Chains A and B, each alone.
Chain A
C-alpha cells in the first residue's frame, strides 16, 4: 500500500496497541501508584529501591505558606505529584542568599538550571498553581513534592550542563525490553523529557552502549555536542556506567509494583547512591523505538510468556535476547568480514564454572576464559544452536544461563522442552551475545550451528549455501508440508 511495506511496521508498538496493553496489563491500583509520584516514592523506598530524598510534600496552600523556604539551600526540585511529560517541574540549582547582606523573606532568590532567578514568592506561586491542578491530567486538585536534586553524574558532564540526564527503561513481564538515555537541553529546561525537546539515545541492552539518537519527538540525529572535546561526537558508542545495576533497578520497580505489567522506569545516576528512580510511567512514550531503531512489540512478544525466575534471570534474558552485538566496537569503522562455511568461534565460559573439556584447551581472551569450537554457518536457520553435551560441558546449562524453555513438538509427536541459553562468543574477533537453542547434535561433526540472526554484519561466503553434510537436506516434493506441520 502506498509503496511502503506495511509488514515492516509490525514490529512496532503503536499508540492504539500501547493503550490496550496499558489497560490490560496495568491494574487500576498500579496505575494509581504510577500516577502519584508520592506513592511511587513511598513504595519504592519500602522495596529498597533508591529514590531522590523527599524534602517536603504540600497538600494545601496553608502548608506552602507555613513552610520555611529560607532553610532550603538550593539543589531541590519542585514537582506536581500527578504531573506528566515534565510539565510543572522546576529544578533549582542554588540559593543566592549568601550574597546579599540583609535578606527579607521573599527577597531570597533561587537560581534555576538555566540561570533564571526566582524569589520565594515565585516558588510559592508555582506551588499554588500546581495545587490548583494546572499540571494534572484533568485539571483536578494536585499535590506538590519538593525533593532533592540529583546532580549531573560526572561521566555525563561532557554532554550536558543544563540538567540531569535520565535513563528510561521499559519493563514488560519483569524483563527490560528497551532503554534510552535522555539528555536535557537548554530548550528542554533542564528536564530530560523528549516532549520538552530533550535528546534521546537508544541503548544496547547487552552493553549499555548508545546506538542511535532522536531529538524531540521524532527527529533522528547522528551527532551531539561534546562540551569537553568542544566538537560534535557520534551519538553511538557512549557507555552508560553501572548498566547492570540500572537494569536491576528497573526490574525491582516492577516487582515492587505488581499491578504494573508494562511500565517505563525513569532512572538517574547519582554519583554516590548509584541508580535512583525518579518515577514510573504506566503509559510510556513510544519514541524510544525510534532512537533504538527497534520495535517494542516484537520484543514484548518474545518475553511475553517466559516465567521469570529472578532479577538476575531477567537481566540475563534482556542481555541475550535483545543485545545488539555489533555495537560493541562502534569506534571501529564498521568493516564487513567474510565468514567461511566452517568457522572457529571462541565461546565464553561463565564466570566461576569449571569446564570439563578434554580435547580443546581453555584459552584466555582479555579477562574472559574461552574455548574454541568449530561452528557451521547455516543461513537457513534463524537462531544458532549448540549441542547439548557441549553446552553442558561449557556450563551453559546452569541455572543462570538458561533463558527459557521452548516448547516444541518433536517429530514423534511428543512435547519436549528445549532450553534456550545465553551464549557469548567471538567470531572473527567480533563479540556476539545471543540466545542459542540447545539441540542434540551429538551425531553431527560440528557441535555449533551459526544461524543468520548472529551473522549480521558478516559477509557469508557463497560456498556456505551449497548443501553440506548434516545441513538442511534438500527435501523431496511432498515431504515439506509434513515437516512444517510438525514444527
Chain B
C-alpha cells in the first residue's frame, strides 16, 4: 500500500515535471520518425521500415509506439513477478491497465479507477438484496459505471481538473475488467486477498506506465524496434527458466532458517 502511494506519487511528480519543463515533449513522435529515415530494407530492419511506412501513410506514431511497447511492458511485468515477487491479476490485466494509464495519465487513471471501483462496490451492496442473476446484476453495475463516468466528465469539464480529451472508452473498459477481477476474488476468496492483488496490479501497471511514458524509451522503441523485440525475447527466456528465489520469498523463508546451535563443535 505504502509502496503504491510512493510509486504513484513519484509517477505523478515525474509527469508534472515532464509537462512543464520538457519543451521538446511537444515535438510529435511522428517528427522523430521523419527526422531519422532508415534507408533501404535489408530484412533486419523490417519492423522499423514497416512503422516508417505506416507513419508516412498517416498512422499515429503513438499507436505504433504503444503497439511495440505492449510486449515490453509485459516483459517488465513478468520480471517483476518472477524475480521480485510482485503479485497481480495475471500478466494481461496489469499490462492492459498500464496501457490505460498511459492513455489517461496515471493520476487521472487512478481517479477514474477509484470511481469505477467505488461505483461497482456500491452497486453490489445495492443489488445484493434483489438476489438477481449474476449477469443482469453486472449489466446494471455497468450502467452505474457509465453514469459515474459521465459525472466525472462533467465535473472535470466544470473544474478543469483533468484533461477530458484523454478519457476514452478503452481505458474505462480495462478498468472495469480489473474491478470485475476484484469483485470475483472478493466473492470467492476474501477481501484481503482481493485488495492485495488489486494493489499489486495497480503497482505493476503504474511501473509499466512510467516506463512506457518515458519519452526517451518511446523514441528508442520507435527507432530500434528489432533490438527491443530481441532483448524482450532474451529476457523472457531467462525469466522463463529462472527457478531461483523471488525477492519477496527471502523475507518469508528467513523465519525457516534454523540458527545452528553454537555448541555444535568447538573450534580449537
Please determine whether A452 and B246 come into contact, CB atoms closer than 8 angstroms. Answer: no
B187 within 8 A of partner (CB): yes
CB contact list, B22-42 vs A, under 8 A: none
Please determine whether B250 and A4 come into contact, CB atoms closer than 8 angstroms. Answer: yes
The listed residue with most B CB atoms (<10 A of its CB), out of A14, A85, A139, A465, is A14
Among B188, B244, B249, which residue has its beta carbon within 8 angstroms of that of A87?
B188
Please determine whether B243 and A16 come into contact, CB atoms closer than 8 angstroms. Answer: yes
Known: A20-B243, A134-B188, A139-B184. A12 touches B265 (CB 8 A): no
Stretch at the interface among A95-103, A147-155, A453-461: A453-461
Please determine whether B253 and A452 come into contact, CB atoms closer than 8 angstroms. Answer: no
Among B85, B256, B263, which residue has its beta carbon within 8 angstroms of that of A293?
B256
- SS of B interface (majority): loop
The listed residue with most A CB atoms (<10 A of its CB), out of B188, B254, B266, B268, is B188
Size class of the B contact interface (CB-based, 8 Å): 20 to 34
Please determine whether B255 and A134 come into contact, CB atoms closer than 8 angstroms. Answer: no
A218 within 8 A of partner (CB): yes
Q: How far is the CB of A298 from chain B (nearest CB, A)?
A: 12
The answer for the CA separation of A125 and B241 in the assembled complex, in Å, is 44
The answer for the CA separation of A452 and B263 in the assembled complex, in Å, is 12
B161 within 8 A of partner (CB): no
Q: How far is the CB of B247 from chain A (nearest CB, A)?
A: 9
Please determine whether A462 and B264 come into contact, CB atoms closer than 8 angstroms. Answer: no
Known: A14-B246, A16-B242, A17-B243. A462 touches B268 (CB 8 A): yes
Please determine whether A218 and B266 come into contact, CB atoms closer than 8 angstroms. Answer: no
Q: How far is the CB of A465 from chain B (nearest CB, A)?
A: 5
CB contact list, B163-213 vs A, under 8 A: 184, 187-189
Interface string of A110-151 (1 = CB under 8 A from B): 000000000000000000000010110001000000000000
A: number of interface residues (CB 8 Å): 39
Q: Which residues of chain A have C-beta atoms less than 8 A from B266's C-beta?
A: 459-462, 465
The answer for the CA separation of A15 and B256 in the assembled complex, in Å, is 15
Among A88, A294, A462, which residue has its beta carbon within 8 angstroms of that of B256?
A294
Please determine whether A456 and B265 come into contact, CB atoms closer than 8 angstroms. Answer: no
Known: A16-B243, A16-B244, A16-B246. A293 touches B268 (CB 8 A): no
The answer for the CA separation of A55 and B253 in the assembled complex, in Å, is 41
The answer for the CA separation of A458 and B265 in the assembled complex, in Å, is 8
Please determine whether A456 and B82 come into contact, CB atoms closer than 8 angstroms. Answer: no
Please determine whether B268 and A465 come into contact, CB atoms closer than 8 angstroms. Answer: yes
Q: Which residues of chain A have C-beta atoms less than 8 A from B255's C-beta?
A: 214, 218, 220, 290, 293
B132 within 8 A of partner (CB): no
A289 within 8 A of partner (CB): yes
Please determine whether A12 and B188 come into contact, CB atoms closer than 8 angstroms. Answer: no
A295 within 8 A of partner (CB): yes
The answer for the CA separation of A412 and B249 in the assembled complex, in Å, is 46
A336 within 8 A of partner (CB): yes
Q: Which residues of chain B have C-beta atoms less than 8 A from A139's C-beta?
A: 184
B136 within 8 A of partner (CB): no
Among A290, A456, A458, which residue has its beta carbon within 8 angstroms of that of B253?
A290
The answer for the CA separation of A88 and B268 in the assembled complex, in Å, is 60
The answer for the CA separation of A458 and B134 in the assembled complex, in Å, is 64
Q: Which residues of chain A have C-beta atoms less than 8 A from B245's C-beta?
A: 6, 9, 12, 14, 16
B252 within 8 A of partner (CB): yes
15 A-B pairs besides A336-B261, A465-B265 with CB distance below 8 A are: A9-B245, A12-B256, A14-B244, A14-B249, A17-B244, A87-B188, A135-B188, A290-B253, A293-B256, A294-B256, A336-B263, A456-B264, A457-B263, A458-B264, A459-B266
19 CB contacts below 8 A, A to B, read A9-B250, A12-B245, A12-B253, A14-B243, A14-B249, A15-B249, A16-B245, A134-B187, A220-B255, A290-B253, A290-B256, A295-B256, A452-B264, A452-B265, A455-B264, A455-B265, A456-B261, A462-B266, A466-B268
